[in-house]
Chains A and B, each alone.
Chain A
Amino acid sequence: MWPSVFLLVVIIGIPFLIALYISFLNLDQYTLRSWIHAPWVGISNYVSALTAGNVIGASTLTSLGVSVGFSLLTTLCITPIGILAALTVNTQYRGRAIIRALYLVPYVIPTFVTALVWRMMFLNRTGLVDIVLAGIHVASINTYWLLGPNSFWAMVIADVWASWAFIYMMVLAGLQSISGDLYDAAEVDGANAWQKLTRVVLPQLRHILGLALLLSTLNHFNNFTLPFVMFGTPPPVQADVLPLNIYVSSFQLFNFGLGGAMSVITLVLMLIPGLFYIRTLHLGEVMAS
């Protein structure tokens, strides 16, 4: 384990060291050409990242909250959908191949297209969501999904639509590795469907499901394209996820030092689930066989 951790640190190390160095500089588009000689400002970028953030958006802490909330909530939503979907195609029936292909479509559509599609869906007054919700008198036709607090929910709904098939595929792969004998045994013991699900299937899926949830959380945390294309820049504070905040700070406000500080904070935070992920893989056992 230790040599691998060492090598990992080296490979991520080079970009990380550059980002770390930048994070202590007052670096903008004018000092970029000779960035090695840019003025050293100590930890002031970190202080402003944690307190003020960039001039138009949220602070790092706010963005961190949005990102954590977004990635955990979407993972929480897609898990039951993915499991249910996998159960609908687990047994043979006519037309199953079509259903399986259809389930994958939202997942394979490029994220920038998904974002454009849901931007149209949530468009104020003219989008389908507002038309339908106003039609059945659930919400006002002027709900403004793409502005303010609602933008967070718009982003969650769009992402759930796009990503539930990931859990579905992982669960389906897991289901296929469960031996038929286990079901037969449960049947003989008189188990009903619910008992089969909770006593046979879910315990057998424990490992792969754990992995799927971890990967899903990581992927959603790093999702930049969806909020970037869906809301444009500057995004609403409630949808200003950490990757988007870093991007806007660095490449639209040209405060590279601040962006560097946020990048370093993000990487340190991501190392925790990242190491968890690597530990779950048990590579040594696979390669030894």
Chain B
Amino acid sequence: MHRDSQEILSRPLRIVVTIVLVIFVLVPIVYTLLLSVTPDSEIGSGDLIPTQWAFGNYIQMWTTVSLAQGIFNSLVISGIASAIAVILAVGAAYIITRFRFRLRLPYLYALIGLQTVPSVMLLLPLFVLFASIQAALHFRLVGTYQAVIITYLTFALPFATWLMVSYLGSIPLDLEEAALVDGATRLQALWRVIVPLALPGVVVALVFAFLTGWNDVLFASVLTAPETRTVAVQLQAFSAGQEGGSLPLYGQLMGASVVSALPVVILYMIFQRYLIGGLTAGAVKG
């Protein structure tokens, strides 16, 4: 058989390295799945395989924590934030890639620059701003969906715009020019020609913007009230509440972890091909 000249690890070496990596990846995952079906009374015993399976953990956990409420809040907050971010990003990216104006490059630099700002640095000023708006205008802001959505937009928007710029930049001008000649308005050209062509980019931006919200603990833990808590904050609070108790409910905690991680993993697997492009797009473009 012809030996591939790109081969750097010989076959046996490659197999050994792959097996080691796969084990490294799988051990914590399998352990988590195992714990999620272990009765809480057996987790302290030190045996890995439980004497009986506690699939009930996956049922009890919905009443132990308000998991459904948390998932619903996460879906609403992340869903709205990502939809707004992507709609605005497509518009901004269209203007950046189709029109030449003086501040175009500075704007792009600012988009990237924003991503290097530590998020914890934004939290304090935003919180103080929200608190003083509340005090001045006499309505509640901290603890509402709106406060969290606005906050997520501050970093979902720059990233989504940056992604869309790199996608729209690769779509040739001829296509929309043809549409414009045929009498379409700019908006129609954008909606009927550009958006369908840039659909993979739109999906990537949507997924990433969504996950920014789903995965966040920092902002949500400060800006949500008990009834608007996202699933991330609920799990964090659930975990913190297990310390000092008589019998920690680790089985249910791991079950809830599995349930909140699984949709994300599935989402990635479905869109894997596009998402890897998105993950490296910011960098590879240079």
| Complex: A15 Cα to B119 Cα, angstroms | 11
| Complex: A175 Cα to B254 Cα, angstroms | 37
Give the residues in chain B near A207, CB-CB below 8 Å.
286
Give the residues in chain A near B216, CB-CB below 8 Å.
225
Give the residues in chain B near A108, CB-CB below 8 Å.
264-265, 268
The distance from the CB of A212 to the nearest CB of chain B, in whole angstroms, is: 7
Give the residues in chain A near B60, CB-CB below 8 Å.
none
Interface flag for B98 (CB, 8 Å): no
| Complex: A209 Cα to B57 Cα, angstroms | 44
Over the window 229-253 of chain A, the binary record of Cβ atoms lying under 8 Å from chain B Cβ atoms (1 yes, 0 no) is 1001100000000110011001100
Binds B, one of A44-52, A85-93, A148-156: A85-93
Query: Would you call B125 and A287 a contact (CB within 8 A)?
Result: no
Over the window 229-241 of chain B, the binary record of Cβ atoms lying under 8 Å from chain A Cβ atoms (1 yes, 0 no) is 0001001100110
The distance from the CB of B117 to the nearest CB of chain A, in whole angstroms, is: 6
| Complex: A229 Cα to B7 Cα, angstroms | 41
Interface flag for A56 (CB, 8 Å): no
Query: B215: nearest residue on chain A (CB-CB)?
Result: A110
Query: Would you call A99 and B22 a contact (CB within 8 A)?
Result: yes
Query: Would you call B128 and A18 a contact (CB within 8 A)?
Result: yes
The distance from the CB of B286 to the nearest CB of chain A, in whole angstroms, is: 4
Whether A260 contacts B18 in the complex (CB less than 8 A), given A12-B114, A106-B25, A278-B113, comes out as no
| Complex: A145 Cα to B116 Cα, angstroms | 31
| Complex: A116 Cα to B248 Cα, angstroms | 13
Interface residue from A7, A110, A173 paired with B109 (Cβ < 8 Å): A7
Over the window 259-286 of chain B, the binary record of Cβ atoms lying under 8 Å from chain A Cβ atoms (1 yes, 0 no) is 0110011001100100010011001111
Query: Would you call A267 and B46 a contact (CB within 8 A)?
Result: no
Interface flag for A137 (CB, 8 Å): no
Chain A interface: which size bin?
Answer: 35 or more
Give the residues in chain B near A284, CB-CB below 8 Å.
105
Give the residues in chain B near A128, CB-CB below 8 Å.
27-28, 31, 48
Query: Would you call B106 and A270 a contact (CB within 8 A)?
Result: no
Query: Would you call A33 and B131 a contact (CB within 8 A)?
Result: yes
Whether A131 contacts B46 in the complex (CB less than 8 A), given A106-B25, A109-B265, comes out as yes
| Complex: A282 Cα to B285 Cα, angstroms | 9
| Complex: A279 Cα to B150 Cα, angstroms | 29
Give the residues in chain A near B44, CB-CB below 8 Å.
125-126
Interface flag for B137 (CB, 8 Å): no
Interface flag for B199 (CB, 8 Å): no
| Complex: A112 Cα to B107 Cα, angstroms | 33
Whether A4 contacts B109 in the complex (CB less than 8 A), given A33-B132, A84-B17, A184-B5, comes out as yes
Interface flag for B14 (CB, 8 Å): yes
Give the residues in chain B near A247, CB-CB below 8 Å.
120, 123, 218
Give the residues in chain A near B26, CB-CB below 8 Å.
102
Interface flag for B179 (CB, 8 Å): no
Query: Would you call B124 and A260 a contact (CB within 8 A)?
Result: yes
| Complex: A207 Cα to B286 Cα, angstroms | 9
Query: Would you call A4 and B21 a contact (CB within 8 A)?
Result: no
Within 8 A of B (CB), among A1-20: 3-8, 11-12, 14-16, 18-19
Over the window 75-100 of chain A, the binary record of Cβ atoms lying under 8 Å from chain B Cβ atoms (1 yes, 0 no) is 00000010011011011100000010
| Complex: A274 Cα to B135 Cα, angstroms | 35
Query: Would you call B121 and A266 a contact (CB within 8 A)?
Result: yes
Interface flag for B43 (CB, 8 Å): yes
Seen from chain B, the residues whose Cβ lies within 8 Å of a Cβ on chain A are 4-10, 14, 17-18, 21-22, 24-29, 31-32, 35, 43-46, 48, 103-110, 112-114, 116-129, 131-132, 135, 169, 211, 214-218, 221-222, 232, 235-236, 239-240, 243, 250, 253-254, 257, 260-261, 264-265, 268-269, 272, 276, 279-280, 283-286
New A-B contacts (9) at CB < 8 Å, excluding given A110-B260, A121-B28, A263-B124: A91-B7, A110-B214, A117-B29, A117-B257, A120-B31, A126-B43, A128-B28, A170-B283, A225-B217
Question: Can you list 14 A-B contacts with CB-CB less than 8 angstroms, sorted by A residue number?
Answer: A3-B105, A8-B106, A11-B110, A11-B113, A35-B132, A84-B17, A91-B7, A105-B265, A106-B25, A110-B232, A117-B32, A166-B279, A278-B112, A287-B169
Seen from chain A, the residues whose Cβ lies within 8 Å of a Cβ on chain B are 3-8, 11-12, 14-16, 18-19, 22, 27, 32-36, 81, 84-85, 87-88, 90-92, 99, 101-106, 108-113, 116-121, 125-126, 128, 131, 161, 166, 169-170, 172-173, 180, 183-184, 186-187, 193, 196-197, 201, 207-208, 211-212, 215, 218, 221-222, 224-225, 228-229, 232-233, 242-243, 246-247, 250-251, 256, 259-260, 263, 266-267, 270, 273-274, 277-278, 280-284, 286-287
